[in-house]
Chain A
Amino acid sequence: MGSETQHESGMSRRDLLAMVGMAAGSAAMYQAMTSLGLAGESTYRGSPNLTGAPKGTSVLILGAGLAGLTAAYELRKAGYKVSILEFNERPGGRNWSIRGGDKITELGGETQTCGFAKGHYFNPGPWRIPYNHHAVIDYCRQLGVALEPFACLNHNAYFHSTNAFGGKPQRIREIDADLRGHVSDLLSKSAQQDKLDESISKEDKEVLLAALKNWGGLDNENRYTKSAAAASLRGYDRYPGGGLAGPSAPSEPMKLQDLLKSGLWRNLNNFFQFEHQNTMLQPVGGMDMIGKGFAKQLGGLIRYNAKVTEIKQDERGVTVTYVDQKAKGTPKQVKADWCVCTIPASILSQIPTTVSPKMKAAIDAVPYVTSVKVGLQFKRRFWEEDEMIYGGISSTNLPINTISYPSDNFGSKGPGVLLGAYQIVQANSFALASMSAPERIAFALENGSKIHPQYKKEFDNGVAVSWHRVPFTLGCGGMWNPTTRKEHYNNICQIDGRMVLAGEHVSYVNWWQEGAILSALDAITRLHERIVKAKA
């Protein structure tokens, strides 16, 4: 599902790594890093070419999230008889968008009815696609799901800290330019005073000075000052006008000491991490267009509202018992030759299932992460009209962490929907998850108004999703650490009798849709080989 880095309060994969380090010893950091996919690239090599499926062989797929849908789509293409059981009354699972009129009932029974205007939505789960997540993008291509840019880095959005600059939000552009400028200035000084002679040759020194001048926006004396060069990066006090309006006036850089003390520079690198770099993408009209795109292809193969209560298997096949959540009544059964189970481990661990002790131990070894997101609709797009912020993300040390502005309908006159809070993994995510939905929304409003004073006047309505209270996942994603990865991961990937597991929790790309799809492709490719071999 991805995570966001904000200030020292924020949560990112790097913070998660810090936590892993704290819990398991920092020597394990590199292993954790690779296991989180930070050091890797998507292993997607195109849709698999599964040939020679024995005629009439059936595969039952549990769960119609992206893993289950991918498995169904590819296995049917390969000639298998495919059917899917899904708990929700819609496809997609965590691939989910909330729109006006939608009812969301969390565990505990609290129901929200979304009041968003037509054409607006909120993605409570995955919300952006990295350019390097080749599988997600390729399936969008195959399914005809239109993609558009998701503005991630917006130089005109804010970094905010209650402990810096009197609590006044700073434009990202200024933090970025001033960090570069001051670092270049210092390094230039060192080079000019021949303090770098052990590191670089005389010829290289000249090039380095030129590079620093260029990259840092330094003046002709290689200093970072209030100058045209600095203003070309950090912006102007007065932008050059037309006619008699006058020439530009440069802005004053912040002092190095103030910049360092503010800590706001910590937020910058988030946007340069591999998975957050430009260009990020989003499906036009909501992330759930992907799940819907798959479901359109799969026609009537998905049985919705089916709560799986038992999974049995023997040497001949798999029998799955489920209860229809709408009709209730007596449990029903589906039989198949093979099974691909994409039910989250948090839930599968509670379902009586015929599996080996090793597989059972692996299923029981995956805790699920907490996460809370709040979507807020405002009557007008004040972030665009008043503050010239078009898409992108503001980061704050306030316990909302994140404000993300919509990347569509720029300049439209009607309302707009913001991501008004995003807490994940850290202690405060549990506190938010424990609040009622109206409390979470009020909390997002109260905190967000410290960055955007327009909040209270312009607020219209909101929805809040606490992933630990989402009935079909009990959390936003599976969490591995180096110890559990070593002990159980290989086991959870195995074909156990006639069943194989898939989902983001059976991947090294945890919490991302890419992980779900890659996991499904790996699982069905191995399952297909097994089936073909068994028949031969």
Chain B
Amino acid sequence: MIHSSFSRRALAIGLLVLPLSLSAALAQDGKPTIGPPGFAFAPKTGADLYATVCQGCHMPGGKGAVGAGMYPALTNNKNLEAGAYPVHVVVNGLRGMPPFRAMLNDEQVATVVNYIRTNFGNTYTDAVTADDVKLARSAN
């Protein structure tokens, strides 16, 4: 088991030419980060943003969860293929999921979406940008 997960990780890092910031995100574990009072989230890295904003519902490791309703797993998630979709969902919310437009800035949305799209078994390396987030803001 140890061997196989090690080689899979090596494979991922070796084969995908990731931007520096993304490969850095891969190497660290995020932590739920308490910030100043108010609505704006403080974290800046993808791992910390995920751990603070997303993992309360989508769970550590993007596993998702099932009860009377469910939170979709983000692991190996085909809906993440087009980067504009997760950007739209984070900005505008989806069904029970709250919109984060007033709580995350453009850079933070792009960072956390890029983190999710390159972790949890997802290998979508076409990074989204703050400009993509601006588009999603105006779409709704």
Interface residues of A (CB under 8 A from B): 7-10, 19, 22-23, 87, 107-109, 307-308, 343-347, 349-351, 363-364, 366-370, 397, 399, 425-428, 430-435, 439, 443, 466, 468-475, 479
Contacts and interface: CB of A to CB of B under 8 A. Distances in A.
Nearest to A363: B95
Interface string B92-126: 01011111011100000000000000000000000
B39 A22 contact: yes
Contacts of B102: 19, 22-23
B134 to A, nearest CB: 16
Among B36, B59, B68, B102, the most chain A Cβ lie within 10 Å of the Cβ of B68
18 contacts: A19-B39, A107-B57, A107-B59, A108-B63, A109-B65, A345-B95, A349-B69, A367-B97, A370-B98, A397-B37, A427-B52, A430-B53, A431-B35, A434-B52, A434-B55, A435-B32, A471-B68, A474-B69
Contacts of A351: 69
B65 A107 contact: yes
Contacts of B70: 350
A356 to B, nearest CB: 17
A303 to B, nearest CB: 14
Contacts, number: 123
B56 A430 contact: yes
Contacts of A363: 95
Given A367-B98, A430-B53, A469-B56, A347 B34 contact: no
A468 B38 CA distance: 19
A408 B65 CA distance: 37
Contact of A426 (B37, B63, B68): B37
A439 B101 CA distance: 28
Contact of B32 (A432, A468, A479): A432
A253 to B, nearest CB: 28
Nearest to A6: B37
B96 A345 contact: yes
B38 to A, nearest CB: 6
Interface of B: 32-42, 51-57, 59-60, 63, 65-71, 93, 95-99, 101-103
A107 B67 contact: yes
Contacts of B33: 431
Contact of A475 (B34, B40, B96, B101): B96
A288 B56 CA distance: 26
Contact of A428 (B34, B59, B68, B69): B34
A23 B39 CA distance: 11
B95 A427 contact: no
Contacts of B34: 399, 428, 431-432, 443
Nearest to A472: B68
Given A349-B95, A350-B95, A469-B57, A430 B65 contact: no
B56 A8 contact: no
